[in-house]
Amino acid sequence: MIFYQLIEPETSTYTYILADEESKEALLIDTVLETVERDLLLIEQMGLKVKYIIDTHLHADHITGSGEIRKRTGCLSAISAQAHVLCADIALKDNDELYFGKYTLKALSTPGHTNSCMSFYTKGMIFTGDILLFRGTGRTDFQQGDPTKMFNSITQKIFTLPDETIIYPGHDYKGFTYSTVSWEKKFNPRIGANKSLNEFIQIMNALKLAHPKKIDVAVPANIQCGLIN
């Protein structure tokens, strides 16, 4: 598989490019409007054909590049049906599958950060968006956040995958590029080391986090696939 992990530095957002080596069919996960030119240049240089552009959830910290890339490549955009993004081509549901060349990407509903959060699994890799981060989790204090839903999503879906499964999250704030199911089960200070639901709820409710700087702009824009006037 062709695989690229790219970062947008202002919001520490990871964008992922996955492609089949033979057919050159590709998909992108969690693009950012400000880095569309970078992403399209790399795709052109590698000779890839974008089939899908996917958002793991309705982002509050950045504007997606999905609408712009769809407009310029003719690909299909996909996001959870729970995001209620009417301009998306595909409204994903739990266990839906997307195919690119000989590979399959499986959508897993993992609410908790938002109702629309989905993780995507393929070939020993899971892309967790904002539900599970490096030694952390997404926040649960706005936009349908729910600690109980998050706990169940992580422990019942992500942590039941094989220990060696590589975790690629939606953001990096600690200087890491990836983790594994085993490492997060052992070392994640919020939900690792067999923490109980009650312990997790207490930890999440005690967080004092600043409001996302771009939420008032990003959410309305992302409901329109990032195509803003």
- Report the CATH number that the domain containing residue 199 is assigned in CATH: 3.60.15.10
Total number of domains constituting the chain: 1
Question: Tens of pLDDT along 3-61?
Answer: 999 999 999 999 999 999 999 999 999 999 999 999 999 999 999 999 999 999 999 98
Task: Decide if 216 is inside a domain.
Answer: yes
Q: What is the pTM of this model?
A: 0.96
Q: Is residue 34 in some structural domain?
A: yes
Task: Confirm whether 228 is domain-assigned.
Answer: no
Task: Tell whether 103 is covered by a domain.
Answer: yes
Look up residue 19 and give its amino acid: A
Domain range for residue 73? Answer: 2-223
Residue 229 in any domain: the answer is: no
Band of the pLDDT at 229, cuts 50, 70, 90? low
Reported as a single tens digit per residue, the pLDDT across 115-168 is 999 999 998 999 999 999 999 999 998 888 999 999 999 999 999 999 999 999
126: enclosing H helix or E strand:
strand 125-129
Instruction: State the Cα–Cα distance between residues 167 and 176, nearest whole angstrom.
Output: 11
Residues 14, 30: contact at Cβ < 8 Å? yes
